Amino acid sequence: KEYPPCVRFAAEQRAKGRLNFVLGVVHAADPSLYPANLLRNIALSYVRTTLVFMLDIDLIPDPGFYPFLLSRKQWIEERSGDHVFTIPAFQFLDQTVTSVDALPSDRGELMRGIEGKRVKPILSGEDEYWEAFSCL
């Protein structure tokens, strides 16, 4: 069954020359629940690479992150069979970021944000979790 918004999006992507995507529509049995694990597993079933970088829509990787990973490709691949790699994530405490230009551009800016209590690491410790959160 075709879903018009998806058909339109796919046509736009093809027109831009982007052919490396798979688009699917998943209907939840209970629309009040967000089936994060189900959606993740469906997405992973279409992956045709040896490594996957999974991130939430609100996570913005550093522009140098991809070149950083490429520079360590062999090291990562040697360990990827039995390792999961995590990256640190940070959130702004006192403002909403409306532009990529407002993000720290280097480690020094990030550390000044942490020291000034404008930025904090998220989900970085054993005692930090969302009690009401469930992906089930």
- pTM here is 0.55
CA–CA distance, 8 with 15 (Å, rounded to integer)? 11
Helix (H) or strand (E) holding 121: strand 119-121
pLDDT range class, residue 88, cuts 50, 70, 90: confident
Please report, for residues 10, 29, 55, 79, the alpha-carbon distance to residue 1 in angstroms, rounded to integers and kept in the order given.
15, 17, 29, 41
pLDDT tens sequence across 33-62:
767 777 888 888 888 887 788 877 777 788
pLDDT in tens, 98-136: 787 888 888 899 899 989 988 888 866 655 555 544 444
